[in-house]
Amino acid sequence: MIEMAPVESGLYQRGFAGDCFNTAWHIAQILGERASVGFASRLGSDGLSNQFMGDLRQDGIDISLIHQDDQRMMGLYLIELDGVERSFHYWRQTSAARVMADDDVWLDKISRQSGVIHVSGITLAILSPKARQRLLGALSKARDDGAIVSFDPNIRPTLWSSLEEIQETLCEIFSITDIALPSFDDEQKHWGDSSPIATIERLRSAGIGEIIVKNGDQAVACHIGGQTRFIDTPAVSNICDTTGAGDAFNAGYLGARLLGQDPIACVNAGQRLSAEILRHFGARMPKSAVPSL
């Protein structure tokens, strides 16, 4: 999506962002040539969409799984800050991404070309029910072919018709999820979980073996390799904006995991990347901040 992020004195900076894209972009920057990272979606064919494609190429991201639509454009969102806490305003009814799963050929390419696929609840929420089922089918096929499916529920209630639709759809994708990366506030609000451990137990019962529960500045609860543990989250100074913190954590965790690091190191990598994004406005840090990580 096109992002309008506040900077100062009523001014906004235009960029590009979106939860799965934020995660993919940060993984690509921290891993460089150590991994091939692509972004799969649908864009318009207008000037801004073409600029976004050019930015992806420049940032080392594979764009072979992006298709362009002459009839649609990118969505747009604006960040509103209350102190450092954010809320969002969206304009995306005609977004090209809403019809990205209408193309069976494109879905087949995803299922055949991917080693790790990261998807979010927002991805599912913006699709029509039929397209959602097609995407779930493609993810299931990819998993059968050996891909790892990573999923962040990232629940945005306004994108769904009801709580029942949220729960039914998420239960479907839980059944094909290998790595779950939920945020406890979402899970508590929409599932009634009393604690991060309750979230872990619910997701374990769905058959997920690797579960990382983010919880703001509280300890990260994780269940990996049959063991459940808590890993303290270090304090962060100079916070500007909480936008994208969860996406950055996902990137740090998955990036370290792709390098074969141990579970605690993977969580620590997620915490470091999340802490850095908090010190910047918008959902992605400047590229100049990445080398220090």
Residues classed as catalytic:
247
Tokens at residue 221, please?
């609860």
> What SS3 state is found at 117?
strand
> What SS3 state is found at 26?
helix
Locate the DSSP E strands across the chain: 2-8, 11-16, 41-44, 66-69, 76-82, 85-91, 116-120, 148-152, 179-180, 210-213, 220-224, 227-231
Which residues, at least 6 apart from 164, have a Cβ–Cβ distance to it below 8 Å? none
Is residue 250 within 8 Å of residue 152, measured between CB atoms? yes
Q: How far apart are CA 199 and CA 148, in angstroms?
A: 21
Strand partners, 55: none
